[in-house]
Structure 1
Amino acid sequence: MTKYNTVAEAYGFWKNSSVAVMEARAKAIEKDIAEDPNADVAGYAIEAEALEQAIAEKRGAQPATSANAPAEVANTAKGEKDGEGAASKVYRSAFFKHLQGNKLTQAEQAAFDNVNAEARANAFNKLSDTAAVIPTHTLNEIIVKARDMGGIMSISRGFHMPANISIPVATPGAAASWHVEGAAVETEKVSPVPVTFGAYEIMRILSISAAVRTMSIGAFESYLADELTASVMACLGNAMVDGTGSGQGTGIVSGITWTDGTNKVTVAANKSLAYADIVNAIALLHRGYSQNARFVMNNTTLYTDVYGLVDENKRPIFVADPVEKGKGRILGFPVVIDDYMEDHDILFGDFRYNGWNMPEGIALDVSRDSSFTKGLIDYRALAIADCKPIVADAFVYVTKATA
């Protein structure tokens, strides 16, 4: 591969080539950056910018500028056409090159500036003037990974709505009835339950070796997605269990008023969980929520309190899944493991009526100053999010008394 020291040098080499040849080279560069962890990203950035200028000149267009890069030129330089804004592949490439400290092409710089100028005019303006919005593809990957981790988040309803907006959520309606021919049928008024998610900030600092600059974009994206899943999304997952609702999301345990005999079963401090307690919890669940109900508990509770329970015929009430470890059913209802649940605590209900909201995704800032002497780069992850139970009647709480 020919190495170019300046854009002018690369431009001089490619300016007499055909558009097809230059587009093919642009595709090859993108492929190598995405797949080869040892790719010379800085050198490729110089060549890609030169190719962009040469292609624009061949087509009679002005080279793209950071102020108004035409979408066609941006996509041509990449050899492809894709989505808009944070969903575009041009922005995705620009985002990760920005975090790595590598040079952006003019088209990438334009895409980067446009997306983040809009974001800073909205929700993230009070968080940072330089935060970059994470690409849509990466955010989707983070959410998928978070759901794959299991827990309450994996079975709750996710929203991506503006904060402080009331959202109507339908509850189970009355069943249809037999109709006598010719008789009038009364109209049923459906009353959705409104839910309003607040705007709370989640922040995490990630310190990564400066060697990240030499990683391929694909490898860096995968690494960053893992780190953000294990930090930002885990923070939200924890709040979904017992968040206080003050400066953070509201958890099911702390966000619902629990009353013994109504929506709560309390096991005496000197006793162990019994088969009757599980049956009572199922019986307390309001009508309309049992069809999709699940038991949620941590691993310790499952294997210490539940695993050995038997019914009146001495049959185990927990039936393990023969394929997936840690999964199974209690009296026919699926079991979900959530490590943020307290020992001896069990939630039972329809978790479609518990929700979380992340209206603007995740924004990242990068700093190369704070860890200068250690050769590290600091990344600050910022997210606006909230969570809360939507319908209290959809849940029952089983807990053990402390005294």
Structure 2
Amino acid sequence: MNNNKQMIFNSFRRRVGLQFFAGADRVTEIETRLAAIRTEMDAPDADLDALTAETDSLIAERKSLLDKAEQRRTLLGKIGSGEVGSEMRRFAPADQTPEERTYGFDSAEYRSAWLHTLMRCDLTDVEQRAWSTATGSAGPVIPTQTANQILQKVHQYAPLLDKITLLHVPGNVTYAVEGEEPDAAYHTENEAIAPAETGLTSITLSAYEIVKLVQISKSVQKMAIDAFESWLTDMVAKKLAKQITATILNGTGSKQGKGIEKANTWGAGNSVSVAKAGTLTTQNVLDLIALLPGGYDAGACFLMSKKTLFTDFMPLQDKSKNDLVRIEGGSYYVYGYPVLLDERVADHEAYLADLSTVIGNMPEDVTITSDFDLTKNAFLFLGCAMFDCTPSQADAVRKLVKAAS
């Protein structure tokens, strides 16, 4: 090809290339609008006739644009090669490097594709591309926004997670805990100094599955994706959080985490007992506080049920003699220690503990998988969290016990 012909070809290539990319932008706008119509059609006051007409018009326009783009590619391929029937190539404008759009797990397109896949809905072209590119190597990972929603709601429904020392380490983890340090000692000049024990002990955490199966009718396919995401994350997070909290409090340590109930074998040295027929006294509360070493005071709190607070502790309040229970901004305090209310603590019992000494681990994000049950004509969604925990300092947990007999 001589210089004049080359210049003509380059000029033509720029014009065709610019036209092609302008068309591509319009196709993306059309696909975005079609995705929006999918949501708008579920509104009670939706004008279905208008939306139908708009959809038909957009689909026809998209087909026309794609046909023209294909014609341009074919024409450009013929001019570039000088042969009919040769391989067609996509040319970028002379001043632009072609780029292939990639979709990460944090993209809106991938989130939409993931949620619609769970709902067994058809995917748009954009969603298909996002799904195929993002899941090509890693599989259908939960979108970043959805994962963040679940984690935020788990912490909302399980406030004890914010009180313990929570790790996010994949697999089993060994954690070094500082125990009681030996006292300093006087030293005679020039004599050897014998090293003392560091007081470090190690605890090992593994990962136990906590699962929740949620069922919803096939009508889920008519939900808007934002509403579906909110419903799904709320249902899964609430149930998982309930079980995580139960583990922190009452986990047995056998095929599950170990809770503060198993921090000690309860006796006179670490608990205060109230007779079965007796009632709690102010002295019982003071005795319980006295059992907790002073080094844990800064992070200590009471844990009890709402019933225990109002039937056992509140009656002890006597403004003329003490300030046992104090209420500030909707929060309760017993002799200055914050009170956490949880119905999983047995009635008429309570713990006084520094929960930061409980070590927990969530080695991976919550996952959600789905299936369809033909026998019930319903969708099943399975949420799964991995969690383990254990109290690291037995003397950081003290208990108020209601005698059984």
The amino acid across from 2:404 in the alignment is T
Q: Conserved in 2, the CA contact under 8 Å of 1:152 and 1:296?
A: no
How many angstroms apart in 1 are the aligned matches of 2:255 and 2:237?
21
Among residues 70, 91, 108, which one is paired with 2:131 in the alignment? Answer: 108
Question: Do structure 1's residue 243 and structure 2's residue 251 form an aligned pair?
Answer: yes
> What is the correspondence of 1:376-395 to structure 2 with a 5 Å cutoff?
376-395=378-397
Deviation at 1:236, TM superposition (A): 1.5
Q: Conserved in 2, the CA contact under 8 Å of 1:96 and 1:221?
A: yes
The amino acid across from 1:93 in the alignment is S
Q: Conserved in 1, the CA contact under 8 Å of 2:305 and 2:343?
A: yes
Alpha-carbon deviations, 1:352-382, whole Å to 9, x = none? 11233221222222111x3x24331111222
Question: Do structure 1's residue 99 and structure 2's residue 121 form an aligned pair?
Answer: no
Among residues 288, 297, 301, which one is paired with 1:281 in the alignment? Answer: 288
TM-score using structure 1 length: 0.71
Deviation at 1:19, TM superposition (A): 4.1
Q: Conserved in 2, the CA contact under 8 Å of 1:150 and 1:336?
A: no
Counterpart position of 2:376:
374
Gaps of 5+ in 2: 1-18, 49-54, 74-88, 92-97, 185-193
How many angstroms apart in 2 are the aligned matches of 1:332 and 1:235?
29
Among residues 7, 19, 26, which one is paired with 1:21 in the alignment? Answer: 26
Rg larger in structure: 2
The amino acid across from 2:356 in the alignment is R
Counterpart position of 2:6:
none
Counterpart position of 2:315:
308
Change (3 A) 1:398 1:300: same
- The share of aligned pairs that are identical, in percent, is 28
Counterpart position of 1:294:
301
How many angstroms apart in 2 are the aligned matches of 1:304 and 1:71?
68
Among residues 332, 339, 342, which one is paired with 1:335 in the alignment? Answer: 339
Change (3 A) 1:269 1:101: same
- Paired residues in the alignment total 339
Counterpart position of 1:319:
326
Alpha-carbon deviations, 1:160-198, whole Å to 9, x = none? 11232212355798999xxxxxxxxx9998655533222
The amino acid across from 2:220 in the alignment is V
> What is the correspondence of 1:5-20 to structure 2 with a 5 Å cutoff?
17-20=22-25
How many angstroms apart in 1 are the aligned matches of 2:349 and 2:288?
12
Question: Do structure 1's residue 360 and structure 2's residue 364 form an aligned pair?
Answer: yes
Alpha-carbon deviations, 1:202-238, whole Å to 9, x = none? 2222111111122222111111111012212211111
How many angstroms apart in 1 are the aligned matches of 2:102 and 2:135?
12
How many angstroms apart in 2 are the aligned matches of 1:388 and 1:193?
13
Counterpart position of 2:173:
165
The amino acid across from 1:278 in the alignment is V
Deviation at 1:61, TM superposition (A): 6.8
TM-score using structure 2 length: 0.71
How many angstroms apart in 1 are the aligned matches of 2:298 and 2:39?
45
Q: Conserved in 2, the CA contact under 8 Å of 1:152 and 1:338?
A: no
Q: Conserved in 1, the CA contact under 8 Å of 2:135 and 2:141?
A: no
Change (3 A) 1:214 1:197: same
Q: Conserved in 2, the CA contact under 8 Å of 1:328 and 1:335?
A: yes
RMSD of aligned residue pairs (Cα, Å): 4.0
Q: Conserved in 2, the CA contact under 8 Å of 1:275 and 1:311?
A: no
Deviation at 1:265, TM superposition (A): 1.4
Q: Conserved in 2, the CA contact under 8 Å of 1:95 and 1:112?
A: no
